[in-house]
Amino acid sequence: MKPYHIALKNLLRRPARMFFLTVALAVGLAAVVALVTLANSMTADIEHTMDQFGANILITPKSNDLALSYGGISLGRVAFDQRELDPSVLERIRTIKNRQNIAVAAPKVLGTVTIKGRELLLVGVDFAAELRLKPWWRLNGTEPSAEQDALLGNAAAQALGVKPGEQLQVGNRSFTITAILQDTGSQDDGLLFVPLAAAQAITGKQGQITLIEVAALCTGCPIDEMVEQISGVLPDAKVSAIKQVVEGRLQTIGQLKRFSLGMGGVIALISLALVFVTMMGSVTERKVEIGIFRAIGYRTGHVMGIILLEAGLVGLAAGLIGYGLGIAAAVVTLPFMASSDHPHLLVQWQVALPAVLSVALVSLLAAWYPARKAGKMDPADALRSL
Amino acid sequence: MITVTNLTKNYPSGEGAVPALRGIDLTVATGEFICIMGQSGSGKSTLLTILGGMCHPSDGSVTIDGTPLYELNDDGLADFRARHFGFVFQSFHLVPYLTALENVMLPLAPLTMTATEKRSMAAEALARVGLAGKEGRLPSKLSGGEQERVAIARAVVNRPTLLFADEPTGNLDSATSDQVMALFSELHRAGQTIVMVTHNPDNGRYAQRTIRLKDGLVVS
């Protein structure tokens, strides 16, 4: 027999009391674990969705323009030094420190053309990169692959009366419309997409690029740092992050995280009080028993060890049960809160370990004073009959 | 050997200190069985508590086999109690959720020895008090006399230099009391030094010497 046997035996003596204390602590922890896990999972889900969403960095040439306004009335902007990007930018952005986070870099050249008496915006693209960048595109027809292949937005196709497989004359070049883009609800519906080189030739911008859309693998990657890195290698370009859409959502999740941690603090205080009261009650109730231990030669440390071990075991059990309950609650709740159809629950040891240990630590802290009181108990006082 | 010199104990009270012991001098030889008697409030329990290393005296000293007891620190005193003393309490004071064997093993728990050794010593002590075969019983499943025997087994399991007993028959009927006192007598014959507090004159006949206390002083 060792002093810890006494702790275990005593825990088993009052199973109901210890069960309810464990459940109370476990439920408190479960709430915090569920909220933190949900917040982390939702953040990851949004980041994953953003990866799927397309470009999140836009590279355009720097242009000097002036905002014209008078008397509070805006008259638009006037660009007086319009420039284009040169093709070397594609190679240069692949040299940044976080280059492994670049999923796609899709260059574009823009220009206007007149077809069948209608003005249309012509977009020269690298089709392979563009189709990776916009996985939500649905095509009626086949993907463009040859130099004379072109893709037409749905609205533009209707306006021009063109169907997949038909020829379209643009300037002195003829293109085969291999596919019509289904409605996207965006400006893409009114555009004509042709291979980059062809568009450069038609618009007279040989070897030039108007803009590059970059999709960065966002999960865990620092978009702002990547923007800085790209700006560093492209001093003549304007590099901006397209993140306003998700920022609001991320901010909400951030608030949820802060709320979870705040709630964790409150629950920790309640748990502290709960364990303290229970252990103080236990020490008072076991005064004679502790007096016997002290009388027969148990040191202060031995008695403290017994009380702290009981509290630590309850805390550890509550930590493990609470973490399990929290994860289970998060599994049930996540599908209703995440933005994607198949959200992935983020189970992290960085959450599990501190969660379980924090409850054990709170229990130990709360039991410290009662344990100290028990350890310092005067055996003669405890055993008044002696 | 116990040597007590000018032992004084005052308990604080609202109107000043209340004297419980007023300068006691006492010697108990190794192997002796002494009985401390006196009326309630005479100071006998206080004397036993101080001899047992559980209560610091206000003045005076207690020396056990050359060791000044109250010059030890708290842990030192606890270790001394664990190795040299055995206690039998009036109300048995068995731990209710431990079996008879586990109760007897309690004083061995903080000591460095194997579990087998502890178990063997506890079983031997229980056999010595006639409780072989009842090792697995909880205190609630034992009679008063059996509980007292378990308490005695617990007190002697560490083979103490000194065995202290406080009214060991206070809660027992006369037949069981005689059996328990016979057990103390047997332990004494085996060489155990015993200091017993009692107000039962019948118990006094088992002891070699009786010390009578009155108002905190030794009167005979």
Q: State pLDDT tens for residues A128-158.
A: 999 888 888 899 999 998 999 999 999 999 9
Nearest of A277, A264, A282 to residue A359 by alpha carbon: A264
**Closest A-chain CA to B196:** A386
ipTM of this model? 0.90
| Domains in chain B: ranges and CATH | 30-45+73-218 (3.40.50.300)
pLDDT given at position A76: 47
pLDDT given at position A250: 67
Listed as own residue / partner, the contacts of A339-346 with beta carbons closer than 8 Å and 24 or more positions apart are: A339/A42, A339/A45, A339/A46, A339/A49, A339/A249, A340/A45, A340/A48, A340/A49, A343/A41, A343/A42, A343/A45, A344/A41, A344/A44, A344/A45, A344/A48, A345/A37, A345/A41, A346/A37, A346/A40, A346/A41, A346/A44
- Looking at the complex, report in whole angstroms how far the Cα of residue A375 sits from the nearest Cα belonging to chain B: 11
* Tokens encoding B86: 């055995």
Put simply, the answer to whether B106 touches A3 (Cβ < 8 Å) is no
The pTM (predicted TM-score) of the whole model is 0.67
Q: State pLDDT tens for residues B39-82.
A: 888 898 899 999 999 999 999 999 999 999 999 999 999 999 99
User: What average pLDDT does range A367-376 have in this prediction?
Assistant: 93
Q: Which of A342-351, B16-25, B164-173 has the lowest mean pLDDT?
A: A342-351
**Closest B-chain CA to A379:** B54
pLDDT given at position B77: 93
Nearest of A106, A79, A135 to residue A210 by alpha carbon: A106
Helix-, strand-, coil-residue percentages of chain B, each rounded to 5: 35, 30, 35
For chains A and B, what is the number of CB pairs under 8 angstroms?
Answer: 96
Residue matched to tokens 């509290």: A311
- Looking at the complex, report in whole angstroms how far the Cα of residue B17 sits from the nearest Cα belonging to chain A: 17
Could you tell me which residue, B80 or A18, shows the higher pLDDT?
B80
- pLDDT for residue B163 is more than 90: yes
**Closest A-chain CA to B87:** A296
Chain A positions in Cβ-Cβ contact with residue B108 (cut-off 8 Å): 1
**Band of pLDDT at residue B126, cut at 50, 70 and 90:** very high
- Looking at the complex, report in whole angstroms how far the Cα of residue A380 sits from the nearest Cα belonging to chain B: 6
Chain B positions in Cβ-Cβ contact with residue A2 (cut-off 8 Å): 109, 115
A17 touches chain B (CB under 8 A): no
Could you give the CA distance from residue A336 to residue B78 in angstroms, rounded to a whole number? 61
Could you give the CA distance from residue A264 to residue A336 in angstroms, rounded to a whole number? 23
For chain A, the average pLDDT equals: 84
**Closest A-chain CA to B170:** A385
Percentage of residues in chain A having pLDDT higher than 70 = 87
